[in-house]
Amino acid sequence: MINILANDGISKSGIDKLKISGFNISTTTVAQEQLINHINSNKIEVLLVRSATTIRKDLIDQCPSIKIIGRGGVGMDNIDVDYAKSKGIHVINTPAASSSSVAELVFAHLYGGVRFLHQSNRNMPLEGDNNFKLLKKSYAKGVELRDKTIGIIGFGRIGRETAKIALGIGMKILAYDKFIKKTDIKLDFGNKKSIDFNIKTSSFSDVIKNSDFISLHVPAQKKHIINKKEFDLMKDGVGIINAARGGVINELDLLSALDSGKVSFAGLDTFENEPKPAIKLLMHSNVSLTPHIGAATNEAQDRIGLELAEQIIKILK
């Protein structure tokens, strides 16, 4: 029987599918420093992770039983992918499964930002009973997203899902992608109707200069792509969302832009120093915060588990 370790967990639907197919699956979380020994002791052939566990060259070299490494989600920066493949190991992920979940979180941050929910939810418990009218006045200058322009940097699956929501609420789209010049987007509605949109991407500078809100959807980068230079080019009062990867925004420059009012609010799901984000970001009144939960919906985890199971079954059977 083939042994599978889902070290960062997997949905029940994924577990059930693998068990029905005759695999032995464990969801015990093994500490990183004990992982090599555990894999060898239990003859693990399939190692499934999310973002918590890292799979580097040393583990690959010392665990010859591994045939498949699977990442539940999109980014595989916690896996030495090329090295694993060079050793004949299959490396799989689920790039489409969580796209809608991340896009919806982007708009949770956007709607919260334009209506000051991140601030009012902090202050209402403290002052709502004795300062209600002042709070009402403080948060009474919200703006609507309709008719505003959203700049989407990175127009892959998640960027396109973000564009779908933006189109659905009447926003204008500016998108930038290194590799995509134009793409078709189908916007599906609940009554079996759909509308097709053809979107041509713009230059990076056009997106930076002309967007009311900017959302980042790029993989992990070796250096920041948003620095003081880019903030200076943005519209005054821009809102910026990062539900991609920590490190794509220069956080010190972001704090300066927030303090000056150049950026009216930021919505951050990812941080440079996870799992210990900079305290100045966590305490800033104009930052809406979530702890890297972009893909963490029940529906997305179900899709991730099923997609991983289907790929494993296809490879091994």
> How much is the pLDDT for 199?
97
Does position 75 have pLDDT exceeding 90, yes or no? no
Assess whether 245 carries a catalytic annotation.
Answer: yes
Average pLDDT for 221-242: 97
Q: How confident is the model at residue 95 (pLDDT cuts 50, 70, 90)?
A: confident
3-state percent breakdown (helix, strand, coil) of the chain, nearest 5 = 40, 20, 40
Catalytic residue among 127, 272, 292, 310: 292
Q: Which is the catalytic residue, given 71, 245, 284, 303?
A: 245
**Is 90 annotated as catalytic?**
no
Mean pLDDT of 108-132: 97
Residue pLDDT, tens place only, 256-278:
999 999 999 999 999 999 999 99
Active-site residue, 292 included: yes
Q: Which of the following is catalytic: 122, 144, 146, 274?
A: 274
Q: Given a cut of 90, is residue 190 above it in pLDDT? A: no
Q: What is the DSSP string of 209-262?
A: HH-SEEEE-----SS-SB-HHHHHHSPTTEEEEE-S-TTSB-HHHHHHHHHHTS
CA atoms within 13 A on the CB side of 315: 20
Q: Three-state secondary structure along 179-195?
A: CCCEEEEEEECCCCCEE
- CA max distance for the chain: 67
pLDDT at 22: 96
**pLDDT for residue 73 is more than 90:** no
Mean pLDDT of all residues in 188-194: 90
Q: What domains can be seen in the chain, in order of their start residue?
A: 3-95+298-316 (3.40.50.720), 99-289 (3.40.50.720)
pLDDT (0 to 100) of residue 14: 97
Task: Decide if pLDDT at 317 tops 90.
Answer: no
Residue written as tokens 């995509």? Answer: 180
More confident residue, 73 or 307: 307
Per-residue model confidence (pLDDT) at position 184:
96
- The number of C-alpha atoms within 13 Å of 101 and in the hemisphere containing its C-beta is 20
Tell me the average pLDDT across 125-133.
97
Q: What is the mean pLDDT of the chain?
A: 97
- CA 182-185-187 angle, 5° bins: 160
Nearest to 311 by CA among 67, 38, 41, 117: 67
pLDDT of residue 191: 87
179 torsion bin: left (phi>0), alpha (psi -120 to 50), beta (else): alpha
Beta-strand runs (E) in the chain: 3-6, 24-26, 44-49, 68-71, 90-93, 149-153, 172-176, 182-188, 194-200, 213-216, 238-242, 263-268, 287-289
- Give the angle subtended at the CA of 190 by the CAs of 189 and 193, to the nearest 5°: 50
